[in-house]
């Protein structure tokens, strides 16, 4: 028997032929994981096809080993093929991700050992209605259910009832979450409320635990996985349901190495597995809403919070009338909360102390030597300051000295990051217990779970945080949310900028007002008349989405079209520009049904000392044409000094 093998190596889409071992008892079948010798090294792959004969002018090697218990079923192989076709990623790279938990040297088979007690938490009347509507659907076949519920409405309790039923029937279940930091809190909550043991799966899970989970899944054992993007590459054999929580979150888009949108891939895996998928959010994506209106998805709504606590009152503060970083209204409200022993959260979606440093004498702005972006000042309040590039991680010690005009003590700090806001709050409320939380502080200074525990136990008065705290957390004593520096969302390099701004405000606003108390939200802005803020203030979800979809249709932006972004990089500006122009000419020559913008220098035109040019292809909603364009791009011979990145449905235009 001749076996066509796909290897988990970065070698494009090539396959290789081997012979099965003579008189082997367990004959390899399609999808079987095998070990073979390739270029004098042992490598892992899967069997794609089998044949009795094949015409080749060379002697074939025998496979080294066939792993009897380990094979990928038809659904996994189809998902691998589809993802490769849709994203233009190498099929070998995708296979490598599916094999990430497999240990070819393991001698002992270890599985997950736990059991469920299956509790039944009490549901509100609206939660019961939502659950009833979901149960009316055929949950034994593929279908997309959009579960839209305001923040604090208990969406988790609704879909966990479905998960519980599937587990009782010995299905495998997957809940996707956007951030690693959310997984532990989720696992604890699900065990407390439902008596269900879940397994955490993400990139930081230890290799041994990954292996146990991977073995458990491929051997078709029932399990609930709560994981981030990487959990979608587990070799599920019997998926009963997939849930994508906070489906709108941009963290689902992976932008390095394997460029995919995990939410969209989750829908594909559910379709290929013929199981339902629930997309859950308080601020569903425009694409989600559009698909509901077109009856492609089923929409289920929950309009009230648990215990019917009202949504927070949202106020807009015109900062053109203010002279301080923190408005007078917000200062007054913080003091009221301190007097009442209630908490305030200040949301600042900017890391560091200030986003750039400026010489007040000559106007010089310190930039990264590797990227054409300004360096961000960090740790200024601790007097161990350093400048950091948020793109390549270049770092240098901060000195109050201008490299351009050689002036000393001439540096000023115009931008306002989370650390600067923290400094201002401490000056104003020196006796309060104040903390700031960002991805920097969590990774380097303290344990996030211990901080969250302090917040939940009301041991903190004022919390200053980035978007790390904007979703998935329930703070019972949080009265007020202040939103600062939100205007930059409206002026982003992205047709989704209004959507991002709206979602961010509603999500972070939802943290306020739990435990039978009405919260309030203060939004500081220099554009108080903007429609996004008006829609947020009035919780006009329908109006916002109607206006946004109308705007998208006018300009033929997604969901009425598709974008393919091509990033061309090189250490040579000339070569990068020349290849970009060459690619653009050929695309324009062969595809007159598309809009091709560029080439032009990317917004970040240099990153990691590589010059970056961008081509943007806009196609009418036509998968056949999209596939033809992508296949055409793949045929180009890319010079060795050039790197070409293909991003289908981009969310980042930098």
Section 546-554 average pLDDT: 94
CA 314 to chain centre: 27
Spatial contact of 205 and 198, defined as CB atoms under 8 Å apart: no
Tell me the two tokens of residue 430.
């020196």
The per-residue pLDDT for range 303-353, each reduced to its tens digit, is 888 877 888 999 999 998 888 889 999 999 999 999 999 999 999 888 888
The yes-or-no verdict on residue 515 having pLDDT over 70 is no
Per-residue DSSP letter, 62: B
User: Which residues sit opposite 606 in a β-bridge?
Assistant: 611
pTM, two decimal places: 0.91
Please report, rounded to a whole number, the percentage of residues in the chain having pLDDT higher than 70.
Answer: 96
DSSP-based three-state secondary structure for 267: helix
Which tens digits make up the pLDDT trace of 257-308?
Answer: 788 999 999 999 999 999 999 999 999 999 999 999 999 999 999 988 887 7
pLDDT tier for residue 443 given thresholds of 50, 70 and 90: low
Residue 329 corresponds to which tokens in the numbers above?
Answer: 């209204």
pLDDT tens for each residue of 124-168: 889 999 999 999 889 999 999 999 998 888 899 999 999 999 999
CB–CB of 236/214 below 8 Å? no
Distance CA 254, CA 231 (A): 13
Compute the distance between CA of residue 212 and CA of residue 102 in angstroms, rounded to an integer: 9
Query: Pairing relation of β-strands 276-281 and 143-149?
Result: parallel
Q: How far apart are CA 233 and CA 213, in angstroms?
A: 12
Q: CB count, 10 Å around CB of 393?
A: 10
Q: Contact, 373 vs 387, CB < 8 A?
A: no
């Amino acid at each position: 028997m001749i076996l066509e093998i796909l290897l988990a190596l970065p070698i494009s889409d090539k396959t290789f032929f081997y012979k099965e071992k003579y008189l082997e008892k367990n004959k390899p079948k399609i999808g079987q994981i095998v070990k073979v010798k390739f270029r004098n090294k042992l490598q892992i792959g899967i069997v794609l096809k089998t044949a009795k004969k094949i015409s080749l002018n060379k002697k074939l090697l025998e496979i080294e080993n066939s792993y009897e218990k380990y094979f990928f079923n038809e659904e996994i192989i189809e998902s691998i093929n589809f993802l490769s076709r849709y994203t233009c990623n190498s099929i070998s790279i995708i296979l490598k991700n599916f094999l990430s938990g497999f240990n070819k040297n393991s001698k002992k088979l270890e599985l997950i050992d736990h059991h469920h007690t299956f509790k039944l938490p009490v549901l509100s009347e609206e939660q019961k209605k939502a659950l009833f509507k979901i149960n009316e659907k055929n949950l034994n076949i593929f279908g997309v259910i959009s579960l839209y519920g305001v923040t604090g409405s208990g969406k988790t309790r609704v879909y966990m009832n479905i998960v519980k039923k599937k587990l009782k029937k010995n299905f495998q279940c997957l809940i996707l979450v956007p951030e690693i930091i959310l997984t532990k809190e989720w696992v604890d909550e699900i065990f407390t409320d439902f008596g269900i043991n879940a397994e955490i799966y993400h990139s930081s899970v230890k290799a041994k635990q990954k292996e146990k989970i991977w073995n458990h899944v491929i051997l078709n054992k029932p399990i609930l996985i709560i994981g981030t993007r990487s959990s979608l590459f587990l070799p599920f054999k019997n998926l009963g349901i997939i849930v994508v929580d906070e489906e709108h979150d941009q963290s689902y888009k992976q932008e390095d190495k394997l460029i995919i949108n995990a939410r969209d891939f989750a829908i594909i895996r559910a379709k290929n597995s013929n199981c339902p998928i629930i997309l859950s959010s308080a601020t569903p994506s425009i694409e989600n809403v559009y698909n509901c209106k077109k009856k492609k998805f089923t929409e289920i709504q929950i309009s009230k919070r648990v215990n019917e606590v009202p949504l927070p009152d949202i106020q807009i503060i015109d900062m053109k009338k203010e002279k301080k970083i923190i408005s007078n209204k917000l200062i007054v409200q913080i003091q009221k909360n301190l007097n009442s022993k209630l908490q305030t959260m200040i949301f600042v979606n900017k890391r560091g102390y200030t986003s750039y440093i400026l010489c007040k004498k000559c106007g010089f702005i310190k930039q990264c030597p590797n990227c054409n972006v300004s360096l961000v000042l960090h740790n200024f309040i601790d007097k161990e300051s350093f400048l950091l590039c948020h793109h390549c991680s270049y770092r240098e010690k901060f000195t109050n000295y201008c490299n351009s005009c050689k002036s000393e003590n001439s540096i000023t700090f115009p931008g306002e990051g989370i650390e600067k806001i923290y400094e201002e709050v401490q000056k104003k409320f020196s006796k309060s217990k104040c903390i700031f939380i960002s991805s920097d502080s969590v990774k380097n200074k303290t344990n996030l779970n211990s901080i969250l525990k302090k917040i939940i136990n009301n041991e903190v008065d004022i919390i200053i945080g980035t978007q790390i705290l904007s979703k998935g957390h329930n703070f019972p004593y949080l009265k007020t949310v202040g939103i600062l520096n939100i205007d930059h969302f409206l002026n982003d390099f992205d047709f989704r900028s209004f959507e991002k701004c709206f979602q961010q405000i509603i999500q972070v606003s939802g943290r306020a007002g739990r435990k039978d108390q009405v919260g309030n939200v203060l939004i500081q802005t220099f554009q108080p008349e903007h429609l996004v803020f008006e829609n947020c203030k009035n919780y006009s979800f329908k109006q916002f989405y109607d206006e946004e979809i109308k705007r998208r249709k006018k300009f033929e932006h997604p969901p009425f079209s598709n974008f393919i972004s091509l990033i061309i990089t090189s250490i040579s500006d000339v070569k990068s520009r020349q290849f970009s122009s060459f690619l653009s000419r050929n695309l324009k020559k062969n595809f007159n049904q598309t809009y091709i913008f560029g080439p032009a220098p990317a917004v970040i035109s240099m990153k990691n000392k590589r010059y970056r040019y961008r081509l943007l292809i806009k196609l009418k909603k036509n998968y056949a044409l999209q596939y033809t364009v992508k296949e055409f791009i793949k045929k180009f011979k890319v010079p060795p000094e050039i790197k070409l990145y293909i991003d289908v449905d981009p969310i980042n235009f930098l």
